[in-house]
Amino acid sequence: MAGPGKCFLVTGPPGVGKTTLIMRVLETLKISNPNLKVQGFYTSEVREASERVGFQVVTLDGRKGPLASSISSPESLRWPSVGKYRVDIASFEALALPELQVKEDTDLFIIDEVGKMELFSSSFFPAVLRVLESNIPVLASIPIPKFSRDIPGVARLRNHPGATIFTLNTGNRDFVKEQIYSQLRDLLQKH
Ligand SMILES: Nc1ncnc2c1ncn2[C@@H]1O[C@H](COP(=O)(O)OP(=O)(O)OP(=O)(O)O)[C@@H](O)[C@H]1O
């Protein structure tokens, strides 16, 4: 069982600043604790000129690979799609799954995000649940209900006993960042 309140779930409409908040909290935590052992990944847009052509997965130590692309190839026609993007499950799994392995000395997990694309990987959600059950603090992002009603994994995460949900808007995101930072700092001191 996850300990109470160790899973911080950030949600909010696309572009509200979920990834930015997660990365800023992590940077601030690292300033006071440079030896913090953090595992995980974030996802970011891939742009060509000014057009979004896909998404990539980036591990916290800076390795990158494709998550989804709107540029089709013979191979990608067999991949599942979200809107105009085809999801490269193998590439996502190769980078993300090793990051979610629970190790004895891990202090914090970052999972940005647990969304429709990522959940096409059948190994991803079980790995997320193992992280939640490890009792190690987690900072993760999930889509808002409007975009995730039909995704069972997101609903299960929302209802997980250890999860606290923070819904961001442009007016509260700086305050929420401070709140999450101070709660995580306290947890990590005790950890
Ligand atoms: N607190 C903030 N102050 C100013 N700009 C911000 C802030 N947070 C995010 N932004 C800007 O808003 C844009 C979107 O931010 P971000 O990628 O973090 O959003 P997101 O919610 O993770 O998006 P998505 O749902 O697409 O993953 C970026 O250009 C970022 O620089």
Phi-psi region of 135 (alpha: psi -120 to 50; beta: other; left: phi over 0): left
109: containing domain: 7-43+98-190
The helix/strand count (H/E) of the chain reads as: 5, 9
Give me the CATH number covering residue 172: 3.40.50.300
Alpha carbon of 118 to ligand 1 centroid (Å): 19
Give the chain's domain count: 1
Locate the ligand 1 atom nearest the alpha carbon of residue 141 and give its number. 22
Mutate to test the pocket of ligand 1, among 19, 85, 114, 174 (most ligand atoms within 8 A of CB): 19
Domain-embedded: residue 15: yes
**Pick from 32, 78, 140, 79: which is nearest to 68 by CA?**
79
Alpha-carbon span 79 to 68, nearest angstrom = 9
**Pick from 18, 8, 4, 1: which is nearest to 108 by CA?**
8
Alpha carbon of 154 to ligand 1 centroid (Å): 21
Mutate to test the pocket of ligand 1, among 9, 10, 20 (most ligand atoms within 8 A of CB): 20
Domain-embedded: residue 49: no
pLDDT tens for each residue of the chain, 191 residues long: 444 579 999 999 999 999 999 999 999 999 989 999 999 999 999 999 999 999 999 999 999 999 999 998 888 889 999 999 999 999 999 999 999 999 999 999 999 999 999 999 999 999 999 999 999 999 999 999 887 777 888 888 999 999 999 999 999 999 999 999 999 999 998 65
Question: What is the per-residue pLDDT for 106?
Answer: 96
Domain-embedded: residue 75: no
ipTM of the complex as predicted: 0.95
Question: What is the per-residue pLDDT for 191?
Answer: 56
